[in-house]
Amino acid sequence: MIHKRRIGGDNRGIGMTSPGTRERLVQRLREHGIADERVLKAILQVPRHEFVDEALSSRAYEDTALPIGLGQTISQPWIVARMTEAVMDGGQPQKVLEVGTGSGYQAAILAQLVPEVFTVERIKELLRLARRRFHRLAMHNIHARHADGHLGWMSQAPFDGIVVTAASRSVPEDLLEQLRVGGLLVMPLEERGGGQRLLAIRRTEQGYERTDLGGVIFVPLLSGLE
């Protein structure tokens, strides 16, 4: 069999970052219960290898979390897909907030599906790198800010959806307040006995309804800036 090299293509990792590799990841996510075709299409469109260090790019389409430096990780693709599916459940959000920009990958996936994405990160260096990726990939509908996500993004509220990609013991009050009625807040919550659960919290006219989406592992939601 002759392997043709794609002219002008990305040969990093010797074919491991090719569109075919991304298709296999999408197939795997489908087999593992991700059903929203909009989300699967977004996974197919976004080059995850652009969101990790070059040394790890050959592993970018494995369904696994990877280190992004400064003690943080880019979430596993299945988790990104599941959270995106959950925040899009039952509608088409216009404006979504993400807490914990990290590599920027989750924001990039949201940006394929939602007209306006707002994302906040407490570590300045990670934010700088993420912004550079958004710029390079011409993702102009992502607005990124160096801030403590516990406070949300007041001047842009209310949001149709909020995705928190770090775990905390309680749901920050400001995030609940910045959610529009009918909107969804998706976040991992630490349990008293150890472990974390992914929750989807829908704001209704009467209050907030919680759905447990299963066990997960996230880095902690920390306070203050770095």
Applying CB under 6 A, which residues contact ligand SAH?
72-75, 99-100, 102-103, 105-106, 120-123, 126, 148-150, 165-166, 219, 221-223
The one-character DSSP state at 72 is: E
Closer Cβ to ligand SAH, 8 or 101, answer by number: 101
Closer Cβ to ligand SAH, 73 or 112, answer by number: 73
Buried b (16+ CB within 10 A) or exposed e, 196-222: bbbbbbbbeeeeeeeeeeeebebbebe
Tell me the two tokens of residue 211: 């759905």
Give the residue nearest to ligand SAH (CB). Answer: 102
- Cβ of residue 100: shortest distance to ligand SAH, in angstroms? 3
Residues 6+ apart with CB under 8 A from 76: 63, 64, 65
- Cβ of residue 28: shortest distance to ligand SAH, in angstroms? 18
Closer Cβ to ligand SAH, 137 or 219, answer by number: 219
CA-to-CA distance for 46 and 208, rounded, in angstroms?
Answer: 33
DSSP 3-state of 195: coil
DSSP 3-state of 222: coil
- The answer to whether the CB of 40 falls within 8 A of the CB of 29 is yes
- Cβ of residue 5: shortest distance to ligand SAH, in angstroms? 30
Residue from 75, 155, 170, 223 carrying the catalytic annotation? 75
Closer Cβ to ligand SAH, 94 or 223, answer by number: 223
75 is catalytic: yes
Residue 59 is which amino acid? R
- Cβ of residue 12: shortest distance to ligand SAH, in angstroms? 19
Active-site residue set: 75
